[in-house]
Structure 1
């Protein structure tokens, strides 16, 4: 916080005032000192007196106070006189003689308005009628250059700064002593060890009292019209006080300041000066006087070591006092934005603009400091830290946990109904896209028929071309060859040669189509006399059947149960997928085991790849809620290469037939042959965009080979009961965090940080462990919990 000092050391309204500006060193900026002048303005005193006489008459009329004024107060006249005085002050502060000071001050405020404090240093007046006394009463807050900066409130300080006593620190609970010189509006006398506030008769501050009572961070003691001994004893409490609050009658006479602590007793400031000094030594940091004639009282009390005071410059009507205290408490203790005392007073002053019956009431509040220092926040005054607030958390913990439990139950219900499935799957796509980049898989080779191949050899590719390709590739001993092309009917010439290659090479896998939607559309594999599983289905299942308008391919059917269709039998009778057979061929030849699930009707069965169990999807796995989980479905762990459409080296048919490739590209590799030409319409939507069918099969083959040989994780998810505990944990963290943060802005920031953390953890776990934790449900629960706890806090305040 930068402390700027504007000092007026000497002068008068008839001769002008000398002004000094001092801006201390800040960062790489040197200290600034400027000297200027406020020119003579003798009419200011006359304008002030005209307004004050009208204002005093209005107040005394409505309080029923006898006065020696020949005419009654008039609101319109009073308003006109105040505007005249205020405008004259504003013009005076814009004098050319003050230009350099105003320029430097504006530059400093513009640089960091939230971290700047303006102290105006004035000599202590020798009498209530001298020019210095009037300077203390000027509406400094109306200075034009302060207008854009809502956080700046001028603070008045004696020209000769007085030392601030070192106060003792107490445990993390603020202590507030409030004294009233009148009766509570409900007529009930209250003296309670846990709550204290004082009111002047006919001032209704019950709502403000209730707000203070809801704060867990303070110990609030209220004394209503106490006796002198009771007042002194309370102020002398060994645990001390952080804030002293007085509402009632007060004033100044030739013997000094006095306070009316009950309807029959006035106590002079000098009478309890030792008690006040001890209270300051024991931790008293702020005194608030909602009473009349506060300027001289503040100056007198500052001599008794009070660091900071909020007081009223003139006599104050009850309605104005009530409105100001209400605004001050709401802004200072339950602020919607970070605020210190200056910001709170400025905001509370703004609420007085509604007191139109008392023109000039906005000029009444003032902050007085014994010596320039950073003004405290409510947390500073009450020493509110996590330890202190945790006491309130422990008392409210059952309610907070109940809120967390209810919100968790609500979100779990939304999950089970399937209402969160679409956003969860969309979030899954985003998480997949932001995983680390991986290198292409060198164990695979894709031989794709592109547009050039179709033009050269015909469409569809004849059997003889495929036979020649198979012959050339098998010369280099691949581990497995997958033929992702339908060969259910002959495509001459070369059918016999093709079938011979298929039947004599057990590492070659053909394709067929189950077509579960319509058996008539199923496609059989080519005829063969092989007894081993030589064909696998190449069906894909995207998610538009469970989430409308979402054709994304996220899962793959490794194997299926017996055909559920009762009246017709599919032409593709195999229960194994194209990819699973290629994986088995590769791992078996590498002296590794692939074990098929034994009990297909048991939901706990697993495909076992050399000890790696493939997690299979159930109806409510991960973010799914209405999944048709028949068969053995897994999530495709796409290899996030620079271009996911290219998972491995890829060559075309012409390259093979012309033998324009290296042998090591084929030897011990898994080869997938298929169409990659755009005209074949064999592209499917994935989290990474449209990818051709052969490349998707390659992704599936790669994910299981990599899991065995590289320990690359397969995508898995938690059981639902662990997800529910995880969800409840985050709602509990959110509820406690939001409860601890009294400021709504901080609550919102904390909630956003929690959401970012949830997303970050979900991204990290999916990227490095392959663990899919659906984040949308938790994020939704976090926002609902934060809102619910904020409503709970507000309800407590209102109650």
Structure 2
């Protein structure tokens, strides 16, 4: 399990420093802190000017970026020096051990983090200059924690609403390709490459809708689609205000700019219908991220400064390969794609620090596989007793070979096996039948179950399997919760129902009461298996072999009862844990999926134990009957 590190930097200023609150949590539990330390980031009045002169000037001078081109004022050699000088200056400030208040924060990080675990670091701040800093260059993480990735987040945020359930298992991607040039003399950017890379995701279960230079009315229309979207992708030109609060994109040559506020209601609807990720493969996207965060989107990827066209294309290609094709975690995929931009460092120094994640801290980012399954409606449910995999897809040639094989087996059965079976049955039916005894002096090993009435207020939000109304012996009744018929000492009660086929990943949207099964809270009083002293008197001429066989059968039955008891207790514990986790976790939390898996596994184990009990009972009755007939 990885770690979640939240570094809160409330808005103060570089002249006085920034109050800092460090929180470290287990990444699968975004609510409970392992540690919390309060300190202070030291003052640095020169940082804003150094940021503009040595960092931002490097990217604002590039003519091939996905922003309106500006005149190149510095050489490639001086760019390398400027970026190196600024990164060294940044690390000197962040690693300042003379300030005791900041040293507490650094010590807390090193004491609670491990090099082997994946670490998500979220910098929470509203300060536009702190947001523009290339935090990924902080060597405390870059050199000591190779599985760490740093993201940004606003100070104020809300927990997103539950994701809607979907019937489709496709990852729906709305792709918007904007204007590829911003002036007569500016070079065109290659957004066709972005389209080709996204279209490859069709092989990974994606449904891609592409809008080329749409009008804002058409874009709104698609954002409002009732089916909803998982990912919104934009490639083209964009920019942000100096304070990083407002962003805009260029859709086409007629509408020179489109602010996020002009899409506000359409984006709200898309987010409420399941939009989880926005990717802006365009320049200077911090203003876009700031406004989308106010709409409560879960996560975004933007470029913090103007990005060269070749760098934007390389990042997209590496990210989609790691995230969709290799199913890496969202943060690991971004980190890998970002570090692979090192190939362009000589030409574009600092390029590997341009992509940045903008994250809602209450959300655990999904993998590509979870995007395909999370919130989907499981159309075909899995039976407890007969598990199978729905939607089996076979190539046509395999299907035809299977049909031919099935036909061959059918012909052999009709021509060869069926006549042989008919002859055998005729011989058996003509042979004399043994004398059957109508009574047995041996006590029955069947247990007696005492069950409470099922609760009536529990909900089962998906397909269920009911108990089978098959009476046995002299009693009659039902075994609750898992669809197994058995003897009950009390009179038959209404058959309770239990959700027995929750999808392993993920569960459906969690609303109302927890969908737990009606497992009785009382223990079951099983009748003990009769000992050998309760057996009838044995004829002296009786074979000791029969007696030993019956005693062995009784012993196996007793063991089967014990294992069934243990399986029952495990099932109760799994249900109680699932009920508890419903109160502790949101539907995003993988711990809840794990509880579903354990509950379903417990149900299957109980079914197996019950089946072994039935087999042991049948074996003992058969031996008792044979013994009775012989004596």
Q: TM-score range by the shorter chain?
A: 0.5 to 0.7
Contact 1:328 1:344 in 2 (8 A): yes
SS at match of 1:234: helix
Distance (Å, rounded) in 2 between the aligned partners of 1:63 and 1:241? 25
Distance (Å, rounded) in 2 between the aligned partners of 1:300 and 1:89? 27
Stretches of structure 2 lacking an aligned partner (at least 5 in a row): 182-187, 381-387, 403-631
Give the 3 Å change call, closer, same or farther, for CA 5–74 of structure 1 in structure 2: same
| 1:602-660 alpha-carbon deviations (Å, 9 max, x no partner) | xxxxxxxxxxxxxxxxxxxxxxxxxxxxxxxxxxxxxxxxxxxxxxxxxxxxxxxxxxx
Distance (Å, rounded) in 1 between the aligned partners of 2:175 and 2:116? 35
| 1:264-285 alpha-carbon deviations (Å, 9 max, x no partner) | 2232211110110011110111
Which residue of 124, 140, 144 corresponds with 1:145? 140
Deviation at 1:323, TM superposition (A): 0.8
Contact 1:167 1:280 in 2 (8 A): no
| 1:16-41 alpha-carbon deviations (Å, 9 max, x no partner) | 222111124799x9831212222222
1:77 and 2:81 are equivalent in the alignment? no
| 1:430-474 alpha-carbon deviations (Å, 9 max, x no partner) | xxxxxxxxxxxxxxxxxxxxxxxxxxxxxxxxxxxxxxxxxxxxx
Give the 3 Å change call, closer, same or farther, for CA 118–396 of structure 1 in structure 2: farther
Contact 1:295 1:311 in 2 (8 A): yes
Contact 1:246 1:291 in 2 (8 A): yes
1:351 and 2:352 are equivalent in the alignment? no
Distance (Å, rounded) in 1 between the aligned partners of 2:122 and 2:59? 29
Give the 3 Å change call, closer, same or farther, for CA 78–402 of structure 1 in structure 2: farther
Q: What is the CA RMSD across the aligned residues, in angstroms? A: 3.5
1:178 and 2:175 are equivalent in the alignment? yes
Contact 1:308 1:367 in 2 (8 A): yes
Structural mapping, 1:682-697, within 5 Å: none
Which residue of 334, 348, 366 corresponds with 1:376? 366
Distance (Å, rounded) in 2 between the aligned partners of 1:279 and 1:402? 44
Contact 2:8 2:123 in 1 (8 A): yes
Contact 1:54 1:77 in 2 (8 A): no
Which residue of 1 is the match for residue 221 of structure 2? 233
Task: State which structure, 1 or 2, has the greater radius of gyration over its C-alpha atoms.
Answer: 1
Question: What TM-score, normalized to structure 2?
Answer: 0.54
1:317 and 2:308 are equivalent in the alignment? yes
| 1:704-759 alpha-carbon deviations (Å, 9 max, x no partner) | xxxxxxxxxxxxxxxxxxxxxxxxxxxxxxxxxxxxxxxxxxxxxxxxxxxxxxxx
Which residue of 1 is the match for residue 284 of structure 2? 293
Q: Which structure dedicates a bigger proportion of its chain to strand?
A: 1
Give the 3 Å change call, closer, same or farther, for CA 293–65 of structure 1 in structure 2: closer
Contact 1:203 1:319 in 2 (8 A): no
Distance (Å, rounded) in 1 between the aligned partners of 2:217 and 2:161? 26
| 1:250-302 alpha-carbon deviations (Å, 9 max, x no partner) | 12359942211223223221111011001111011111111112111100111
SS at match of 2:193: coil
| 1:319-369 alpha-carbon deviations (Å, 9 max, x no partner) | 11111111111111112xx62211111111012112232212112111112
SS at match of 2:208: strand
Distance (Å, rounded) in 2 between the aligned partners of 1:25 and 1:320? 34
| 1:110-162 alpha-carbon deviations (Å, 9 max, x no partner) | 18613x4322211x2xxxxxxx2111011212222323433321121111223
Contact 2:198 2:208 in 1 (8 A): no
Which residue of 2 is the match for residue 169 of structure 1? 165
Structural mapping, 1:362-761, within 5 Å: 362-383=352-373, 394-395=392-393, 397-398=395-396
Question: Which moves more between the two structures, 347-356 or 206-215?
Answer: 206-215
Which residue of 2 is the match for residue 121 of structure 1? 124
Deviation at 1:393, TM superposition (A): 7.0
Deviation at 1:3, TM superposition (A): 2.8
Which residue of 2 is the match for residue 251 of structure 1? 239
Give the 3 Å change call, closer, same or farther, for CA 375–226 of structure 1 in structure 2: same
Distance (Å, rounded) in 2 between the aligned partners of 1:256 and 1:30? 33
Distance (Å, rounded) in 2 between the aligned partners of 1:291 and 1:164? 26
Which residue of 1 is the match for residue 422 of structure 2? none
Deviation at 1:107, TM superposition (A): 3.1
Which residue of 41, 54, 58 corresponds with 1:55? 58
Give the 3 Å change call, closer, same or farther, for CA 91–402 of structure 1 in structure 2: farther
Deviation at 1:201, TM superposition (A): 4.2
SS at match of 2:267: helix
Contact 1:155 1:367 in 2 (8 A): yes
Which residue of 2 is the match for residue 110 of structure 1? 114
Contact 1:174 1:219 in 2 (8 A): yes
Deviation at 1:53, TM superposition (A): 5.3
Deviation at 1:213, TM superposition (A): 2.1
